[in-house]
Amino acid sequence: MVHTGAGGTESQDWANMLLRMYLRWADSEGYRSTINEVSAEESVGIKSATITIDGPNVYGLLQAEKGVHRLVRISPFDAAKRRHTTFASVDVIPAIDEDIEITVDPQDLRIDTYRASGAGGQHVNVTDSAVRITHLPTGIVVQCQNERSQFQNKETALKILKARLYEHEQARRDEELEVQRGEKKDIAWGSQIRSYVLHPYTMVKDHRTSVEKGNAAGVLDGDLNEFITGWHRWRLKGDVS
């Protein structure tokens, strides 16, 4: 999942660039990717997107991408050609194993249908086939508009919701353990994991592992493997719990 940060049009364009980057990476690795939902903007870019990437070990690999991504560039939307810094966040959740049962009370759900639009899939049509599901107790919202029918969109959205609820419960338990241990982690929107600098020089740097690449255009075109393997090596050294 990709979400915009503060910054309006600039942030929306950055979120769209990240979406393209991950789709290109998946394609280069031979993984199958599906755009489940895109909240497109009328002007430029996207507010959010949910995609599914299927392939061996793909969740483990993409854990390296979870966090806030920072872009520094001369904004193409600024007539004065000033340098802008903007943020977008990436969330990575696993598909739920069929052996793990996640129970969802239908009374806890608000299901809305709407007309699919924008870049949200190859089967966009003029019927109200897109589905948005809100889990009222947690406030988690999922959407799907890629499938051909409202029924298929609902089924896919429910699968995504169950995965989000599973992650939500895991995060809650982790927080309880941190309280018991007396630990406190600084979770802030500005605490980026990686910076993509396009001006005054070109450089992509991961702030956790210090892996750097000067070919920023290549990275944005899906060349992520050095950052992914670097993160996993760093994690194995015991720097990440």
pLDDT in tens, 157-206: 998 998 888 888 877 876 765 554 444 444 345 579 999 999 999 999 99
- Of 6-15, 85-94, 96-105, 117-126, the poorest mean pLDDT is in 117-126
Is the predicted pLDDT of residue 31 greater than 50, yes or no? Answer: yes
Per-residue pLDDT, 1:
85
Residue spans per domain, the chain: 2-92+193-239, 106-181
3-state secondary structure the chain: CEEECCCCHHHHHHHHHHHHHHHHHHHHCCCEEEEEEEEECCCCCEEEEEEEEECCCHHHHHHHHCEEEEEEEECCCCCCCCEEEEEEEECCCCCCCCCCCCCCCHHHEEEEEECCCCCCCCCCCCCCCEEEEEECCCCEEEEECCCCCHHHHHHHHHHHHHHHHHHHHHHHHHHHHHHHHCCCCCCCCCCCCEEEECCCCCEEEECCCCCEECCHHHHHCCCCHHHHHHHHHHHHHHHCC
How far apart (Å, rounded) are the C-alpha atoms in residues 222 and 21? 5
Does residue 177 or residue 124 have the better pLDDT?
177
Does residue 240 or residue 34 have the better pLDDT?
34
Mean pLDDT, the chain, rounded, equals 85
pTM: 0.71
Q: What mean pLDDT is predicted for residues 35-51?
A: 86
What is the CATH number assigned to the segment(s) 2-92+193-239? 3.30.70.1660
Per-residue pLDDT, 123:
43
pLDDT-above-90 percentage for the chain = 56
Does residue 186 or residue 128 have the better pLDDT?
128
Per-residue pLDDT, 120:
44
Per-residue pLDDT, 182:
46
Per-residue pLDDT, 186:
40
Q: What mean pLDDT is predicted for residues 119-131?
A: 60
Q: What mean pLDDT is predicted for residues 60-66?
A: 94
Q: What mean pLDDT is predicted for residues 124-142?
A: 83
Residue of 17, 192, 8 lying closest to 89 (CA atoms): 192
What is the CATH number assigned to the segment(s) 106-181? 3.30.160.20
Per-residue pLDDT, 118:
55
- Of 33-37, 38-42, 163-167, the poorest mean pLDDT is in 38-42
